[in-house]
Structure 1
Amino acid sequence: MSAEAGYAVLRAAGVALVMDLQGEAPQILHWGQDLGPLDAEGVEALRYSAETARVANSPEATRALTILPTERDTWSGFPGIEGHRAGTATTPRPVRESVHVDARDDAGGIVRCVLRDAVCALELVAEFELEPTGVLRVQWSATSLAESGEPFDLAHLTALVPIPARAVELLDFSGRWSRERAPQRLPLVDGAHVREVRRGKPGLDSPYLLVAGTPGFAHRRGEVWAAHVAWSGDQRWIAQRLPEGAGALGAVLGGGELLRPGEVRLAAGDRYDAPAVLFAWSDAGTDGLADRFHQRMRTRRPRERRQPVVLNTWEAVYFDHDMERLGELVDRAARIGVERIVLDDGWFRGRRDDRAGLGDWQIDTAVWPDGLDPIVARTREAGMEFGLWFEPEMVNLDSDVARAHPEWLLAPSGGVGASFRNQHVLDIGHPDAYAYLLEEISGLVARYDIDFIKWDHNRELHEAVAREAGGDRPGVRRQTLALYSLLDELHRRHPRLEIESCASGGGRIDLGILERTERVWTSDCNDPVERQDIQRWSDILLPPELLGSHVGAERAHTTHRSTDLSFRLVTAAFASPGIEWDITTCDDDDLGRLADWISFVISRRGLLHGGRRVHADLPDPQTLLHGTIAEDASAALFAWVRLASSGGPQGARVPFPGLSRDRDYIVRLPDAFGAPALHGSEPAWVAHARSADGFRVPGAVLTAAGLPMPVLQPASGLVLELTAA
């Protein structure tokens, strides 16, 4: 349909967006479950029924929520836009100027709305794109129309969409170093649930995904509406309910960039582009959200090849870059089937610990007298790819670059403030600093034909101001845009180069950075007990092939907990697997087990990195059943996990989610992971599953009744492979 019809209906993947394009500003009448092929009469019924009853002590006109809610609409909640011109023009009244509708049958489409605000002298443009996956992308821009006078100081431009009154519970995430993506549940009550990120990056406590849902929603059940701010700088997330509701709906959900005072000042003709906010709906719990986000990522940035199995040197050698030791590590990695070696921190000038050298991206000839040629050649001769660690946005004050260019520091002119890990921030928005980084990194990539960069970011941005002649200016937004530009240019120059986003582990994971990177380092914590939950919640948004997960030493570097090799192998298999362990200390038995595991995950990589992720809803929080299922449900791999001891029945039946009820499955227990630690004997069916023929079970039995599972000791896991008979 066209904008002339006065409405828009976009449909895709079981989702519908219905917008009323009449009135002073467009409105969202419905976002959620597909309503079918609505005609003009159906839309009119939806529009007419959006006029709610007037209650006592309320506006004379029925309240309605526009796409950019302001006080003009008698909206008393968080507004869609705020700002001023030298203390004036504080009551925006955006009015529809034009609307263009591009509906694409059942594949979604775009509604582009242009609003003009005479009070603030702004043109405001919004794109609402319902993508083929059913994900709704909302993106705003603001352009100053004033020909002279004071600039418009933009406080924020926030994407808000309405959600129904039956969404009464919220889920988002918090965390800290080595414990990212810790879920937190709370009721959606009157008032605003606001999460503000002021760390210069999403942070280890990133909200990650803000989900509102029906009572008791879980992995596999409940209706849910979710928002994600696809931006790698400061952010704001919001869910808000008012006693009067949001028009005919119950609350609003959304977010955008958090701007510092004076960060965006729009003079005549200046334009601000807000980051995209992505919204998703599901009537199948958070697994349904994951299906949409995973499909979006896989179709938007398809990989030409599978993620390789990595060995990263950090927890093997730390700063001790001895070629003899590293050479033995490379040789052993090649023998067990590793596909990529990544040389971590410690290779560049003056870098013998974390107190000096950061920012001097020249090879330390005292440690590497022949450059990196020996380790690169040895890696290539063994048939593996080579990767290198950088932390381009940071600098030690004890470095040549900091001494030569104090103006490149992203810090107040009056002093740099507190350090994190003995480092400060380099202003990559400074043209000369940007050019320095680009040429140094690009030169090394070209010299050694580097396949992969581990791009780290180990501190937060506090007092992040650019040192300019007219005074210190807020710099987080400029820093974020410069980062995006730097990553884009490196990819342009080196099309085969892959980059991992690391920020003290999972401190910068968002769909903005993932437009420009091929993997994330999910957490610095390789303890499989912690990793099970970190990965469980991370893969609501990201498919497992993007979530780096490494097998570490028996005693975890971060928690000092000791775990069996079997459990470490199980945990890393269901992500983007690798090793972060000094395998020169491994005996032949452990090396053999690692080789068998690598062979197995490579042979099943198409399923592990292309299937649908599922999570069972279990009453015991210390047990997990999660898996990856082929799109046609012809094959699956599941992990049965016990994190800690708990009460309740032992050995009860556990249903398997996501399988086909209409076909039989052969259940087998792969040898590649070794035997888990059991608390007692195994159920009788396990012996059949270990046999050559496996254990045949109807899908209806697996999905509805389930199997009595082995009772595992704490910190243990078991992998089950299912193939359709």
Structure 2
Amino acid sequence: MLGVQPAWSGNTVLAVDRITEDGTAVFAGELLQPGEVVLTTGDTYTTPWIVITACNDGLDGVAHSLHAWERSLPAHPVSQPVTLNVWEALYFDQDPDVVLDLVGRAARLGVERFVLDDGWFHARRTDTAGLGDWWVDRSVWPDGLKPLADAIHDHGMQFGLWFEPEMVNPDSDLYREHPDWVLQATGRLPLPHRNQQVLDLTNPDAFAHVLEQISTVLGECGVDYVKWDHNRDLLEAGTNTRGGAPAVHEQTVAYYRLLDTLRGRFPNIQWESCASGGGRIDLGVIEHVERVWTSDMTDALSRQRIQRWTVQTVAPEYMGMHISATTSHQTGRTYTLDFRAATAVFGSFGIEWDIRQASESDLARIAQWIAWYKQERAFLHSGRVVRLDVTDPGVMAHGVITDDASRAIIAHVQYEESPSNRGVWLRVPGLDPKTHYRLKWAGPAAEDPEDVLREASRRDWDPLPESGPLGPDATITGAALGTIGVRIPRCHPETIRLIEIVRV
């Protein structure tokens, strides 16, 4: 298995070329537009790194190699706090009393980081205005953000804040003063997207402006974490400093420089790459941040596939995975709390939900999931990720195994209705073939066996065993688990069982 990808956050090309006369060629690199890089005598151009991974154990082997490298990076997070982000709770409707109420509720659940999303800065009541004007809107936050930061810190949590530094709304003071600071071809603006344009960071004045504005906010407000968004593509991305010449290369270099300059000024702040979710998750940006926002699609069922393939490139501890609302804001589909939580708990775990709407029983359950995550995150974020091959198209399975193969946690996901009543055999790779293992249900649901047992689709004649997939006392060798597997009966769609596998 060969994995190839550019470590670059700008335009790239990746292709396979196969012709009859020669062997197959795989090539990758930066995609440059005509005139984008002009070299004169003595000038140089440095290509992005191309990361190549070769292994004999399939896609999981490629992922494991990349994860091991990412875990060696200086910016790699030591431990990922439980995060509550207020976007899907409030959107642009920020009220200090409501936010402070959410702070208290979050702290009682065990949340460790509280993030104030889009809507705190000048004139930002909708997505039509304000981008580029990075100062606190006193009509919303009359005392500034420092009191909020203090309250969050007093509750023992980190304070996170949303920015979109590379973007500008035409309805902003910045644009009205400097319309020439927008990336554009000569004589016209690119088509707007989300009512915004892209700030030309290759312009030294624009770069300095946004650097100082953001530095002022970070310095005044006691920020511990920045969610750095990027909500549009770079279209007709020319720079007025060079007569409208293509500038994505220099814009990408400037983005890295801006981020690194801010990291140098504020070494205790952690940084998230959020570009409508997965718009900027790559092996270039991963060297500069502690976290990525995996997708703005927070529907748990959709997230199963999104997360399954994002982990191919990015270690799970980087990937923001949150418990979303009972009924998804994106799809309108409704799921149980346990399904949403078990979908999120393998990554950088958090909440994207108005917890004021949660019942007392839901809040108690969220607290259980948070406690379980805290107990298991060191293991979940250090082991080898495995994605099991399953013959049933209605079932997915994935998990984590320790490097010494002494323990594993596997998620059996009944993604949709199975085509038969036969159940499925989960074959778990990577265990010690000669070692015996005991299997039991794991996670908060396992604390009450009835919560697990009721998920069997045909409980009357094909039930889930109460204590674990093999029953109370049985063990199985790693060889048997890897070749034969363990059978899980057909379960109700949109349910998840966590299985702990422990060396005897």
Shorter-chain TM range is: over 0.9
Q: 1:705 aligns with which of 480, 484, 493?
A: 484
**2:475 equivalent in structure 1:** 696
Q: 1:638 to 1:683 in 2, by over 3 A?
A: farther
Distance in 2, Cα, partners of 1:706 & 1:416: 59
Distance 1:553 1:276 in 2: 40
Query: For 2:57, which of 284, 305, 310 is the aligned residue?
Result: 284
1:696 shift after superposition: 3.4
Q: Which residue of 1 aligns with 2:78?
A: 305
2:168 to 388, 392, 395: 395
Letter matched to residue 20 of structure 2: P
| CA distance in structure 1 between the aligned counterparts of 2:445 and 2:382, rounded to whole angstroms | 21
Cα contact 1:641–1:718 (8 A) shared by 2:
yes
Q: Does 1:434 align with 2:207?
A: yes
Pick closer, same or farther for the CA change 1:286–1:551 going to 2, 3 Å: same
Cα distance change on mapping 1:391 and 1:652 into 2, 3 Å: closer
User: Could you tell me which residue of structure 1 aligns to residue 425 of structure 2?
Assistant: 653
Paired residue secondary structure (2:72): helix
Q: Match of 1:472?
A: 244
1:718 counterpart residue number: 497
The residue correspondences of 1:202-221 to structure 2 (distance < 5 A) are none
**Corresponding residue to 1:560 among 307, 310, 332:** 332
Query: 2:103 maps to what in 1?
Result: 330
Question: Contact between 2:316 and 2:346, CA under 8 Å: does it hold in 1?
Answer: yes
Displacement of 1:300: 2.7
1:242 to 19, 24, 48: 19
Report deviation, 1:418: 1.4
1:678 aligned residue:
456
Contact 2:75 2:288 in 1 (8 A): no
Work out whether 1:228 is the aligned partner of 2:1.
Answer: no
| Cα shift at 1:697 | 3.0
Report the Cα offset of residue 692 of structure 1. 11
Map of 1:535-684 to 2, 5 A cutoff? 535-673=307-445, 675=451, 677-681=455-459
Letter in 2 for 1:242: I
Show the counterpart of 1:22.
Answer: none
Q: Which amino acid aligns with 1:707?
A: V
Deviation at 1:255, TM superposition (A): 0.6
| Contact 2:470 2:486 (8 Å CA) reproduced | no
Report the counterpart of residue 316 of structure 1 in structure 2.
Answer: 89
In structure 2, C-alpha distance between the alignment counterparts of 1:571 and 1:495, rounded to whole Å: 32
Check if 1:362 corresponds to 2:135. Answer: yes
* Inter-CA distance 630–440: structure 2 relative to 1 (3 Å threshold): same
Work out the CA distance in 1 between the residues paired with 2:382 and 2:75: 11
The question of whether the paired residues in 2 share the 8 Å contact of 1:655 and 1:707 is answered with yes
Question: Conserved in 1, the CA contact under 8 Å of 2:83 and 2:112?
Answer: yes
In structure 1, what residue type is equivalent to 2:279? Answer: G
Separation (CA, whole Å) in 1 of partners of 2:246 and 2:87: 34
Aligned match for 2:231, one of 453, 458, 461? 458
| Residues 653 and 709, structure 1, Cα contact 8 Å, conserved in 2 | yes
1:399–1:599 CA distance, 2 compared to 1 (3 A):
same
CA distance in 2, matches of 1:694, 1:392: 57
Deviation of 1:521 (Å): 0.6
Q: Where does structure 2 lack aligned partners over 5 or more consecutive residues?
A: none
Aligned to 2:30: 257
Unaligned runs of 5+ residues in structure 1 are 1-223
- In structure 1, distance between residues paired with 2:464 and 2:474: 7
| Equivalent of residue 405 in structure 1, options 173, 178, 190 | 178
Deviation at 1:498, TM superposition (A): 1.1
Aligned to 2:192: 419
CA distance in 1, matches of 2:86, 2:367: 18
Matching of residues 116-265 of structure 1 within 5 Å: 224-245=1-22, 250-265=23-38
- Describe the SS at the equivalent of 2:208: helix
Range moving further from structure 2, 688-697 or 584-593: 688-697
The structural deviation recorded for 1:304 is 5.8
Contact 2:456 2:462 in 1 (8 A): no
What whole-Å deviation, never above 9, does each CA across 1:265-291 have from its counterpart, x for those lacking one?
101111111111111111111011011
Secondary structure of the residue aligned to 2:365 is: helix
Give per-residue Cα distances to partners, 1:201-234, cap 9 Å, x unaligned: xxxxxxxxxxxxxxxxxxxxxxx11101111011
Query: 1: distance between equivalents of 2:27 and 2:303?
Result: 29
Give secondary structure in 1 for the equivalent of 2:423: coil
Deviations 1:620-663 (A, max 9, x none): 23211111011111111110001111314522432222222222
Aligned to 1:229, what secondary structure does the other structure show?
strand
Asked if structure 2 preserves the Cα contact closer than 8 Å seen for 1:342 and 1:389, the reply is yes
How many Å apart are 1:695 and its aligned residue? 5.3
Structure 2 CA distance for aligned equivalents of residues 368 and 304 of structure 1 = 31
Look up the SS of the partner of 2:68 in the other structure.
helix
Partner deviation per Cα, 1:430-449 (whole Å, 9 max, x = no partner): 10111111111122222223
Counterparts of 1:355 and 1:309, CA distance in 2: 31
Offset, 1:668: 1.8
Q: Please tell me whether residue 527 in structure 1 is matched to residue 320 in structure 2.
A: no
Identity of matched residues, %: 44
Tell me by how many angstroms 1:378 deviates.
1.3
Aligned partners of 1:417, 1:266: CA distance in 2, in Å?
27
Distance 1:694 1:317 in 2: 49
Q: Aligned partner of 1:236: which letter? A: V
What is the one-letter code of the residue matched to 2:495?
Answer: S
**RMSD between superposed Cα atoms in Å:** 1.8
Q: In structure 2, do the counterparts of structure 1 residues 582 and 599 end up closer, same or farther at CA, with 3 Å as the change threshold?
A: same
What's the secondary structure of 1:271's corresponding residue? coil
Q: Which amino acid letter does the alignment assign opposite residue 452 of structure 1?
A: Y
Shift of 1:238: 1.3
Q: How does 1:267-278 map to 2 (within 5 A)?
A: 267-278=40-51
Distance of 1:419 and 1:720 partners within structure 2: 48
| Structure 1 runs, 4 residues or longer, greater than 6 Å off | 690-694
User: For the Cα contact (< 8 Å) 1:550–1:572, is it kept in 2?
Assistant: yes
8 A Cα contact 1:359 1:401, kept in partner:
yes
Distance 1:691 1:375 in 2: 51
For residues 328 and 463 of structure 2, the distance between their equivalents in structure 1, rounded to whole angstroms, comes to 34
Contact 2:456 2:463 in 1 (8 A): no
Over 3 Å counting, the alpha-carbon distance change for 1:694 and 1:297 in structure 2 is: farther
Deviations 1:1-44 (A, max 9, x none): xxxxxxxxxxxxxxxxxxxxxxxxxxxxxxxxxxxxxxxxxxxx
Q: For the residues of structure 2 that align with 1:653 and 1:520, how far apart are their CA atoms?
A: 33
Per-residue CA deviation, residues 337-359 of structure 1 (Å, 9 max, x unaligned), is: 11100100000000000001111
CA distance in 2, matches of 1:414, 1:669: 64
- C-alpha separation in 2, matches of 1:723 and 1:319: 47
CA contact (8 A) 1:593 1:673 kept: no
Report the Cα offset of residue 694 of structure 1. 6.7
In structure 1, C-alpha distance between the alignment counterparts of 2:485 and 2:262, rounded to whole Å = 50
> Which is worse superposed, 667-676 or 435-444?
667-676
Cα separation, partners in 2 of 1:528 and 1:455, compared to 1, 3 Å: same
Higher share of residues assigned helix: 2
Q: Return the alpha-carbon distance in structure 1 between the equivalents of residues 501 and 96 of structure 2.
A: 44
Contact 1:570/1:673 (<8 A) preserved: no
| Larger RCO, structures 1/2 (Cα 8 Å, 6+ apart) | 2
**Structure 2: how far apart are the matches of 1:711 and 1:603?**
30
Please say if residues 398 and 412 of structure 2, whose CA atoms lie closer than 8 Å, have aligned partners that are also in contact.
Answer: yes
Partner of 1:330: helix, strand, or coil?
A: helix
- Please tell me whether the aligned partners of residues 307 and 576 of structure 1 are also in contact (alpha carbons under 8 angstroms): yes
